[in-house]
Structure 1
Amino acid sequence: MTEQYLNIAITGLSIHHSEELKTQLRNLIPQEYKIKWSTAADPTIDCLFIHENFYETDGIQKIIQSRNFPWLKITKNNDNENILQENTLSLPIVNPQNFSDWILQHLLNTSLENPNEHIFEVNPKKTPYKLEYFSKMLDKERNSKLHLFDNLGTIAIIDVQKNIAWLNPEREQAFTDSGFGYDIASTSNFMKVSRKQTYLLNDWLWQFFWDSPLFLKEIAPEDGHFKIHMWPKPSQNLDRKVVFQLSSCFIQGGKVSKIANQLNIPLETVQRFIAANIATNNLSRINIWDKHFNPPEAPSVSEDAGFIKGFFGKLRKKLGI
């Protein structure tokens, strides 16, 4: 089976603006083209949309200069909404005609001239982001400090043994969506972070990945049995309740789909929770016959809900939360 794809990368935008741009692209690109959302590091991308604040970063400049594809800087400016000039598109897009003309001229014409370049067998995306990838990153036996980065440059330098992180103060983006990686920190890497303030690595890293749902989609399991090692400590009040509920279950071990049903939480949220714990090496796979969180069957929905509510109430009291 073969299909015609356009590989499009969006980098540096917030989730809201990224979804806004994706919606416009779906509406403006003819249906005979299947859109594959890629990363800036993908060597097969056909088009790149990059937030203007990250356009000058070394990683993005290297990608743009080494390959030939159309690209646009994205800016958020209500005074210049819907303006497309000097390779910069202003959001929001009220009248999409200019954007549609740009797509036709720079993206679709290119693809029509070389249609075979975009035809390939549909295979599952291979990703290095397995549990082992993160367990190596957070190996407490490691003596060296690590440089965390993505396509937008330095994220932080971490010292796993001392459980501390130094952040890049010039980075406005508090999440990652593509190209995440790590290597041994060099002297030049240290020049990009501030050592005036340190962060607890466990807490900061968990929050960082939890706030990166687009990245976590690459590693989120469809289902499975897992047990977390420690309770995460989200810094956002909005997330604490759901993270607390999920932690209460998975600290005992549980199945993703079953916990979603028992707590009446969207499956995607539970998968995101598991992925965040994979990325922070705070989780193990367990067997189906291992001990699980499994409240007993109750004769009615109200009694079952009361049991779960009482369970969490006792747990909060015990933990002093």
Structure 2
Amino acid sequence: MKEEIKIAIFGLSLNVLDAIKQKIRSMYDDSLQVSWANIADPHLDILLVNDMFFSSPTIQNLVGVKKVPYLRLVNKNEKSGQIEGDKLYLPFSPSDEIRKWFKDRYLHVPVSDKTVNIVNQISKKADLTKVVPELFNERNGNVQVFDSKGNIALVNIRTQQVWIDPLRKVQGTDVSLNFTYATMQMAQSVSTFQGIELRSWVWNLLWYSDDVNIPISSNDCYKLLDWPQPNHQNERQMVFKIAACFELGASVSQVAQKTGYSKEQVAKFVSIGVLTNSLKKIALEDAKLHTEEKQSSGILRGFFGKLRKKLGL
């Protein structure tokens, strides 16, 4: 029976994944069986991970706690095929340096202290300003969304549909939110079911979460592009009041003053709106809330009255 080495590759598109698998398999002789494993495999020998996902808690647990040998995969043509510390630059072709790295990992040669220190310095927080917009980038196709608490949902970005994991009990998320490319099998498993609308789902996921604020100036002005649809009835009055102000165009401080809600609550609304492309930044002179206030203080009250009647509030 052949000896076996288990390798997991995480966070790459299917085309890139297949190409890398072929190159890695060619570096081992026929006496060794290369098995492609899931990152949950307790007997993982090597992990190759897209650098975008390296800071996720799941990956950090593998490389920092379980000490699985790994390489961070980075797209950089000018360094193509080089290994620097814990990074392998793509695209690559099998070279003596790369063959030695994979052979040493099979022979359990320890990684350098420098690489271990890199792991310890990595923040466990993902950058939501980079992660969330990628959930609307059609080139990503089907993705699996997860956080430190586990799998959240499968998303088809091209059709703007979401299928929530039925085992997911937690409503919100946190700064560990991230995603990876879904397999064809995952996508096919939900293809006969109708998903929920992507933008509304992301908005609610963030609204019922902590620590999702991005730097927002209370004097910057924004205009509403898309009305949010909060899941819970008791949240709607606040959300719709804030949204109505931004539909006219307003700043955080103006909306807080008009609605009586805190600047923190309004800033969270703005943060989520910016992340989900539901708000756009505008110039002060385009903010009509301030203008309307000068003309008549009753206009906005009338607007709220019509809104409440329409929504049955």
Tell me the TM-score range normalised by the shorter chain: 0.5 to 0.7
**Equivalent residue number for residue 88 of structure 1:** none
Residues 1:128 and 1:165: Cα distance change in structure 2 (over 3 Å): same
Instruction: Tell me which amino acid in the other structure corresponds to 2:216.
Output: P
Change in CA separation of 1:137 and 1:63 when aligned onto 2, cut-off 3 Å: same
The normalised TM-score by structure 1 is 0.53
Tell me: CA distance 1:195–1:167, structure 2 relative to 1, closer, same or farther (3 Å).
Answer: farther
Alpha-carbon spacing, 1:161–1:149, altered in 2? closer, same or farther (3 Å): same
Q: Of 132, 135, 147, which aligns to 2:133? A: 135
Distance 1:290 1:225 in 2: 8
1:179 partnered with 2:176: yes
CA distance in 2, matches of 1:221, 1:195: 41
SS in 2 for 1:296: helix
Q: Can you list the C-alpha shifts for 1:48-87, whole angstroms capped at 9, x where unaligned?
A: xxxxxxxxx95685377247xxxxxxxxxxxxxxxxxxxx
SS in structure 2 at match of 1:221: coil
How far apart in 2 are the matches of 1:291 and 1:176? Answer: 32
Does structure 2 conserve the Cα–Cα contact (< 8 Å) formed by 1:156 and 1:193? no
CA contact (8 A) 1:148 1:156 kept: yes
Q: TM-score, normalised by structure 2?
A: 0.54
**1:126–1:161: structure 2 CA closer, same or farther, 3 Å change rule?**
closer
Number of aligned residue pairs: give it.
Answer: 203
* Alpha-carbon distance in 2 for matches of 1:135, 1:58: 21
Alignment-derived partner of residue 242 in structure 2: 246
Residue matched to 1:221: 216
Q: Any residues of structure 2 matched to 1:91-170 within 5 Å, and which?
A: 128-130=127-129, 133-139=131-137, 141-142=138-139, 144-170=141-167
1:235/1:271 CA distance change after superposition, 3 Å: same
1:160 Cα deviation after fit: 2.3
Letter in 1 for 2:289: F
Q: CA deviation at 1:308?
A: 3.2
Alpha-carbon spacing, 1:63–1:270, altered in 2? closer, same or farther (3 Å) = farther
Unmatched segments (≥5 aa) in structure 1:
1-40, 44-56, 68-116, 118-124
8 Å contact kept, 1:155–1:171: yes
| Residue pair 1:154, 1:189 contacting (<8 A) in 2 also | no
Q: Shift in Å at residue 220 of structure 1? A: 5.1
Q: Could you tell me the percent identity over the aligned residues?
A: 29
State how far apart, in whole Å, the 2-side matches of 1:229 and 1:154 are: 30
Provide the C-alpha distance between the structure 1 equivalents of 2:191 and 2:258, rounded to a whole number of angstroms. 44
Q: Following TM superposition, by how much is the alpha carbon of 1:189 offset from its aligned partner in structure 2, in angstroms?
A: 5.6
Displacement after TM superposition at 1:266 (Å): 0.8
Letter in 1 for 2:128: Y
Whether the 8 Å CA contact 1:206–1:232 is kept in 2: the answer is yes
Q: Which amino acid aligns with 1:265?
A: Y
8 Å contact from structure 1 (residues 249, 259) kept in 2: yes
Give the Cα separation in 2 of the matches to 1:199 and 1:157. Answer: 11
Alpha-carbon distance between aligned partners in 1 of 2:190 and 2:217, rounded to the nearest angstrom? 36
Deviations 1:203-234 (A, max 9, x none): 2221111101x2313x2524221122111111
1:42 Cα deviation from its structure 2 partner:
6.8
1:206–1:276 contact (8 Å) kept in structure 2:
yes
Q: State the Cα deviation string for residues 232-272 of structure 1 (Å, max 9, x = none).
A: 11121111001111111112221011111121111111011
**Which stretches in structure 2 are left out of the alignment for 5+ residues?**
1-53, 68-116, 118-123
